[in-house]
Structure 1
Amino acid sequence: MGKVKFILINFFISILFSTGLGQIITAEEIENLQEIKVTSSRDTFTAENFPGSLTIITAEDIQKKQHLTVESLLRGELGLDVARSGSLGGQTSVFIRGQGGSSTLTIIDGVRVNPNSTTYDWGDLITGNIERIEVLKGPQSIQWGADAKGGVINIITKKGKGKPQHAFTFEGGSFATFKESIQTSGSINNISYSIFGQHLYSDGFSSVNDQAPRGGGGGDGTINKTISTRLGYEFSKNTDMEFIGRYIKSNDELDDSFNRVDSSASNNVDEFSVSLPFKTSFSGCGDCFFQMWDVKLIPSLYYKHALTIGVTTRSVSVDRTLTMDLQNNVLLNNNLSLLFGVEYEHQNAMAHESADQGFGVNEGYHALVDNYAGYLQSIFQYQNRLILTAGFRKEFNTAFGNVLTYKLEGGYNFESTGTRLNTSFATGFRAPTFDELYFPAVDGFLSSNSSLIPEKIKSFEIGLKQGFLNNRLQAGLTFFNTVTTNFIQSNESFVTDNFGKFFSQGLETAINIKLPQDLSVSINHTWNNHWIDEDNAAESVIRRPAIRRAKHKFRANLNHNWNNKLNSLLGIYVRGEAFDSSSRNNTGAFTTIRAAFKYKYNKNLALTFRGENLLDEDYEEVGPFGTAGISGYAGFIYSFK
């Protein structure tokens, strides 16, 4: 098996030379990034001139790769770690540059979907109806406040436009997995609409690793029902309003991490988000001090109800977040613009856990927090060469007081050589979750701590991007270094506390090449060195790595498009060893190979096929939870107007 891996890795390298790099200039033109506005930067930058670390995944990328869920799509992206506990739908966390899952802010169509009680679970988020995913790495607290200490993952769904069009999708395969979806979208006069629905069912496999002696038992299945709606009305050329809604209902069977297999254990979630963004623009006049003023008002609501039925316990949690965001983008002149706004957020959460299947045994909690914030950022741009930004945000929180964060960025484009240099220094913070603050004792055991204060981070990064051969070959290199103080973790008594520091530094390398014969190659590697320095009673420092973050990650994709009829993708993902916890062995290094094909049979019908873990690698991301062996899936997409 090791020889097969060696051959496949070398196959990617040989492709680069066998096609002849000297011919790259004649290949198809690369996508123009000038028109893609980075929504998660609050519309202040395009993808081309963004001065920080940014990854954009387009709808075309999603179609080529054919991943069912967003977490599987993000696995292997530059600077990210993804850890899923067991089968499809299992508890999943995404870490950005080594920061914890609670430090990754997730936004869907302008709505913050991080629960107040705990971290965001990526296990039930599907890829259907997504137009674009933006991954901003490094602290983004000046624009988004708490929970953006590690970065922001912003998901934008599809907006209806043009003549009405409709699509039906079906896929089936291993583990009795079946996906059916239906979509309709378009625009009529001033009204646009996009409506999407999907049903996903899978028998799954035993979450406790059935390839190890500790495992066994039946599969842990999932049922996922998702509805996504986007309706818009254009009052005039400069003014419009939308209704954006998303609903997820899921039932995920599970085992627990104590090696017990029980088919009755499950996690049942009802989750919805609603936003009503209103946008208008004003053009400057002769006596005005501005050229253009864009105003955006976004009221939003996020709600999540989760019932987890365990082997000996039941827990229920309810999260509600109401947000009102008023954002202003003002273009003062050709070189200078301002971003400023105010935001109000009302956080409401309750949680309850009971032992021995009986409610009322243990008390729960009900917590309310109000957060008020104001932010300001100035942006100076000169002839598409120089970008300088400076900004700050002030938070007023009824739970932990006031927090001030700031960020400085700079970028310079050397047009003669096609070189771009970016650098930034930023601060950020993460507020404790409600569970960390208030969760009551269960069976006499208390893990929460109402005296917790926010984590604070300082981050520096510098990056270089270089284009070669008329930008047919693009390379990027970014170094980052972060220090987190007031680090929140469990102490020796398993009580959550602020102690020690968390350090994370790394180097991110990316290469993208457009080759002849409609071939393209993307390669990335992340080196991330991270550790926690714990202070103890003996006034000495204990150093250990953070859990479930690998030091080395490598991914390569080879894509070929034949006459716009057949698209073929071959991908390899290599993850190094990762520390799991002090009570378990590390999860070992592993390599997975996947392939995806899409054949356009005619103008209405396309056939799809994908194979996962083609080498049948036996590995774990989170111990002792298992992962899928070799598996295959096939389906079709039928679209019509």
Structure 2
Amino acid sequence: MSYGIRTTALAVAASLVPVALIGQEPDPVEIDGVVVTATPVPIERSALGASVTILDGDDLRRRGVLRVADALRAVPGVVVARNGSFGAVTSVFFRGAESDHLQVLVDGVQVNQPGGAFDFASLTVDDIERIEVVRGPGSALYGSDAVAGVVQVITRRGGGRPEATATVRGGSYGRLDGSVSVSGSGTGVSYGLTLSRLSTDGLLDFNNAHDQTVATGQARIQIDARTEARISARMSDRTYGYPTDGSGAVVDRNQQSFGDESTVALEVRRGLTAAVALRGLVTLADVESGTDDAPDSPADTLGFFGYQSLDAMRRAAFDLRADAQVGEGTVLSVGGEFEQQRVRSFSESQSAFGPSAGRSEYERDNRAGYAHLVAGRGAVSTNIGARLESNDQYGRFATWQVGLSWTLDDATRIRGAAGSGVKEPTFFEAWATGFTRGNPDLDPERSRSFEVGVERSLGSVASLSVTAFRTDLRDLIQYTGTPPQPEAPNYFNVAEARTSGVEASVQGDAGPLGWGVDWTLLDTEVLDSGYDEGPAATFVEGEALLRRPGNQLRVAADWTATDAVAVDAAVRRVGERSDRDFATFPATPVTLDAYTVVELGAEIRLHERAVVTVRGENLFDEAYQEVFGYAAPGRAVYLGGRFSIGR
């Protein structure tokens, strides 16, 4: 096996994973149950104090899942809210925290907007090897935005003899999607390439089409016995027609949003000795997005009748880290990161009062140093980490995390984790001018979290996991239309909230039948509403945070009927939650009803390399909304096939 880089990566696993794994040639990422997102070095999931869910890409595609957001609906503690149709803005909430409190990575590249916002409508699963979902604060490792958790999308790397796979699927709402992927390996090189395309007419009567093309590629090169390199790239182009205004009313025939996104990562690992390795990572995320709403007709000349906008975001970063085995089953990681963030915006309006335009450009640098210790001895494993940020805008800030896992016997494990998180202000919140004034003196939003969990094996029948958690959110940035003083800014660190709850999961199998039940109980409360007052405010003291249901339940099963036929089914129940009707001023408080959706799918293997799939979603045509004013999809049926050659 390779010298240095693999030895260090598996140092912790040596005391936590069966010894036979140490001598295997594949990269640690491929080891079943090993997590690469929660700590600097790969570690067995059963050695972590934090809650981690691993979603397998092949399994997601087999079940007909198209988007990462839909995959996350199956994860305990996660709430997904989409503004109606396919391709609409999609937000994800972890354990009741804000949607911009989540760090999103694609092959190690941070793809959030500076300040945390991320639209999950852009991520599909065609090219994914796996998704790692870490719940709990991750700022001590990843810095800003990882207040409530981290989602890392890991694209397919390929391996073995060359293989090509093609998929195609079509059905309800005019949907047609397909992909072609090629993967394989040669002497010292492995590779994976995927090209996918999606189009749909959408839910609404007009101007609701969504089109997206995605190309991804990843290659790993064994340069010499001590050095390995990885390069990955992803490019996405998408458009979405949305005829709705801010309240969900269908009013516009040519309003569209667009997004061109690209990410690149270059990682090099070098083993210096049998116990010390260096790892360098260069990443780039480049996003151009905006809105195009031309006049509907020559007669459209009243009020504001035309609008265009363009927002360009770039995040470039370099991370250098050393991993050293400092004792049996103990690895110390020390590293530093430099990141440059840049945002450029342009907008132009046409109205009866004449044209107007606006431009802005902002840039800031961030420097950070961090250290993490991962140790395992016998039945106990721990991880401790800290990070110090130095940002051009908000100065210095420190975060920390600690985790503990204790295996009592062959059937029981107790674990716990705690930590702090930060989310930097957006450029607009800090520097906006005009009708809205930014506040350059804003501090980051902050959090402190802890969780305690128990996992219990119930013999060969099933396994049980129960986790209790709590997060305190402070210094939340809030907009106010009535500043306390004339010429004062519109943004302040004033709001405060608390989230807590329980995640419970039971998984089992009985021969050809596998099943699982996941339940989440969530309680959120606004502790300080700041300048927001009245029932229409976003933060109302003593009330729950918006769009967070108190209960979620998912029951799923898969049945391998024969070697050629497999069936899967899922029932998902989401409880009621609070929202606002923005068609009125001030906004009117509303309650979104609870709902239940049923999914059923089947895979029929016609040949070793030919598979037919059929899938039904929302089979009982449940009418519901995840965001008030925007209807979610009704009943849908899709038919598809998958074909492969090679290997």
TM exceeding 0.5:
yes
CA distance in 2, matches of 1:435, 1:558: 46
Structure 1 pair 537–325 and aligned structure 2 pair: CA distance change class (3 A): closer
Aligned position for 1:488: 477
CA distance in 1, matches of 2:142, 2:623: 40
CA distance in 2, matches of 1:223, 1:397: 38
Moved more, 43-52 or 596-605: 43-52
Contact 1:87 1:221 in 2 (8 A): no
Cα deviation, 1:172-192, whole Å, max 9, x if unaligned, reads 000110002111110121222
Contact 2:57 2:125 in 1 (8 A): no
Aligned position for 2:331: 337
| Secondary structure at 2:46 match in 1 | coil
CA distance in 1, matches of 2:231, 2:457: 41
Structure 1 pair 308–219 and aligned structure 2 pair: CA distance change class (3 A): closer
- The amino acid of 1:478's aligned partner reads T
- The amino acid of 1:176's aligned partner reads G
Cα deviation, 1:263-311, whole Å, max 9, x if unaligned, reads 2111111000001111122443xxxxxxx22322110110000021246
Question: Structure 2 matches for 1:435-454, cutoff 5 A?
Answer: 435-441=428-434, 445-446=435-436, 448-454=438-444
Residue 107 of structure 1, CA deviation: 0.2
Cα deviation, 1:298-332, whole Å, max 9, x if unaligned, reads 10110000021246432210000001011222222
Report runs of 4+ in structure 1 exceeding 6 Å deviation: 357-360, 537-541
- The amino acid of 2:239's aligned partner reads N
Question: Structure 2 matches for 1:389-428, cutoff 5 A?
Answer: 389-416=383-410, 418-428=411-421
Residue 33 of structure 1, CA deviation: 10
CA distance in 1, matches of 2:292, 2:592: 27
| Secondary structure at 1:340 match in 2 | strand
Moved more, 65-74 or 532-541: 532-541
Residue 539 of structure 1, CA deviation: 12
Question: Structure 2 matches for 1:231-246, cutoff 5 A?
Answer: 231-246=219-234
Question: Quick one: which of 253, 272, 290 aligns to 1:307?
Answer: 290
Aligned position for 2:59: 61
CA distance in 1, matches of 2:59, 2:355: 49
| Secondary structure at 2:100 match in 1 | helix
Structure 1 pair 535–119 and aligned structure 2 pair: CA distance change class (3 A): closer
| Secondary structure at 2:607 match in 1 | coil
Give the TM-score taking structure 2 as reference length.
0.87
Question: Quick one: which of 609, 612, 617 aligns to 2:617?
Answer: 612
Residue 620 of structure 1, CA deviation: 0.3
Residue 352 of structure 1, CA deviation: 2.7
CA distance in 2, matches of 1:52, 1:377: 15
Contact 2:103 2:116 in 1 (8 A): no
Contact 1:532 1:544 in 2 (8 A): yes
Give the TM-score taking structure 1 as reference length.
0.88
* 1:36 is aligned to 2:33: yes
* 1:80 is aligned to 2:69: no
Question: Structure 2 matches for 1:259-274, cutoff 5 A?
Answer: 259-274=249-264
CA distance in 1, matches of 2:593, 2:576: 5
Question: Quick one: which of 501, 507, 511 aligns to 1:506?
Answer: 501
Aligned position for 2:575: 576
- The amino acid of 2:620's aligned partner reads L
Residue 500 of structure 1, CA deviation: 2.4
Question: Structure 2 matches for 1:179-578, cutoff 5 A?
Answer: 179-206=177-204, 217-218=205-206, 220-254=208-242, 255-258=244-247, 259-284=249-274, 292-310=275-293, 312-356=306-350, 361-383=356-378, 385-416=379-410, 418-441=411-434, 445-446=435-436, 448-470=438-460, 472-491=461-480, 493=482, 495-516=490-511, 518-536=512-530, 542-578=541-577
Structure 1 pair 276–33 and aligned structure 2 pair: CA distance change class (3 A): closer
- The amino acid of 2:454's aligned partner reads L
Contact 1:365 1:440 in 2 (8 A): no
Contact 1:33 1:46 in 2 (8 A): no
Contact 2:48 2:404 in 1 (8 A): no
Contact 2:337 2:367 in 1 (8 A): yes
Unpaired runs of at least 5, structure 2: 1-28, 294-304, 484-489, 535-539, 581-586
Residue 534 of structure 1, CA deviation: 2.6
| Secondary structure at 1:51 match in 2 | coil
Residue 536 of structure 1, CA deviation: 4.9
Residue 240 of structure 1, CA deviation: 1.3
CA distance in 2, matches of 1:404, 1:301: 25
| Secondary structure at 1:143 match in 2 | helix
Structure 1 pair 309–93 and aligned structure 2 pair: CA distance change class (3 A): same
CA distance in 2, matches of 1:183, 1:536: 51
Residue 487 of structure 1, CA deviation: 1.1
Contact 1:224 1:250 in 2 (8 A): yes
Aligned position for 1:210: none
Residue 448 of structure 1, CA deviation: 4.1
Residue 600 of structure 1, CA deviation: 1.1
Residue 493 of structure 1, CA deviation: 3.9
Aligned position for 2:300: none
Cα deviation, 1:150-193, whole Å, max 9, x if unaligned, reads 10001101112110000111000001100021111101212221
Residue 508 of structure 1, CA deviation: 0.4
Moved more, 420-429 or 164-173: 420-429
Structure 1 pair 51–93 and aligned structure 2 pair: CA distance change class (3 A): same
Contact 2:48 2:382 in 1 (8 A): no
CA distance in 2, matches of 1:557, 1:435: 43
| Secondary structure at 2:74 match in 1 | coil
Question: Quick one: which of 93, 96, 99 aligns to 1:98?
Answer: 96
Residue 411 of structure 1, CA deviation: 1.3
- The amino acid of 2:412's aligned partner reads T
CA distance in 2, matches of 1:544, 1:105: 26
Moved more, 594-603 or 353-362: 353-362
Contact 1:364 1:439 in 2 (8 A): no
| Secondary structure at 1:62 match in 2 | helix
Aligned position for 1:213: none
Unpaired runs of at least 5, structure 1: 1-31, 207-216, 285-291
Residue 37 of structure 1, CA deviation: 2.6
Cα deviation, 1:225-250, whole Å, max 9, x if unaligned, reads 00001122111243211220000000
Aligned position for 1:171: 169
- The amino acid of 2:289's aligned partner reads A
CA distance in 1, matches of 2:440, 2:402: 33
